[in-house]
Amino acid sequence: MLSIDVNKFTQEAEKDIRAQLRFYSVLGVKYFVMPSSSHLQIKEGGASNFRLVYDQEVKIYENLKVLPRTFVVHETERANNYEEAQTLAGHQNFDFRKQAVLEDMIPNAASMAHEGPSDSHSKIVHYGARKVELKVETSQPGLAILTDVYYPGWQAEVNGEPAKIYRVNGLLRGVWLPEGEHQVIFSYWPPSFQIGFALAAISSLICLLLVMVSVFGRKRVVSQV
């Protein structure tokens, strides 16, 4: 029978959570479920990053450092690939709330230079498996970030116009926006879906033509008789 050292598992899990908390936070992980023996909320020499919200057969901790599901940044830097982007974003002095690393150039990137306090904000209006809608207001040009994993097949529209989705920090999704109010829609429409719909449409058309030919052929036979 497999034997598990619960205390050792708990200690290793706590160590991992503390070490990787910045990344859990940017991915929107708000709660951690831990064994009842856990003491994740205890932090020496300062305030804890966690709050104990449930303490029965297990312990549930709230992550007090979690980032919003969507937000706007105005500072970007360039990476050559997603591995380099993840490395740059992994530095301890990197502020996910203000900065972003991209692998592609942004049009008019100079206009994104942060000048003074920003009053930009973003909120989720609709969230579904294949469609996400944001309402974004930017006080200056910026990058609206959705903390969902970047994945091919997603498309974006800004105020009804197609927009490029940038891979942010080697992992997340973002769209560049000028100053103003914007409706941002992410929709999942991969090539496989498009091919499937096209094949279904062609099959339906062929079936319709066969039915029409069959009906027309019967009418001709009846009229000849």
Domain region containing 131:
70-188
Residues 98 and 180 in one domain: yes
For residues 184 and 125, what is the distance between their CA atoms, to the nearest angstrom?
10
- Taking alpha carbons only, the member of 14, 180, 172 closest to residue 86 is 172
Q: What is the pLDDT of residue 211?
A: 62
* Contact assessment for residue 101 and residue 89, using Cβ atoms and an 8 Å cutoff: yes
Predicted confidence at residue 222, as pLDDT, reads 47
How many structural domains compose the chain? Answer: 2
Determine the Cα–Cα distance for residues 1 and 119; give it in Å rounded to an integer. 58
Q: What whole-number distance in Å separates Cα of residue 125 and Cα of residue 134? A: 5
Backbone torsions φ then ψ of 193, nearest 5 degrees: -65, -45
Encoded tokens for 190: 């991969």
Counting as low any pLDDT under 70, the low residues of the chain are 1-4, 44-46, 108-117, 191-225
Task: Determine the straight-line distance between the first and last CA of the chain, rounded to whole angstroms.
Answer: 83
> Are residues 176 and 85 part of one domain?
yes
Count of Cβ atoms closer than 10 Å to residue 194 Cβ = 11
Q: Is residue 202 part of a domain?
A: no
Residue 42 is predicted with a pLDDT of: 72
Same domain, residue pair 48 and 150: no
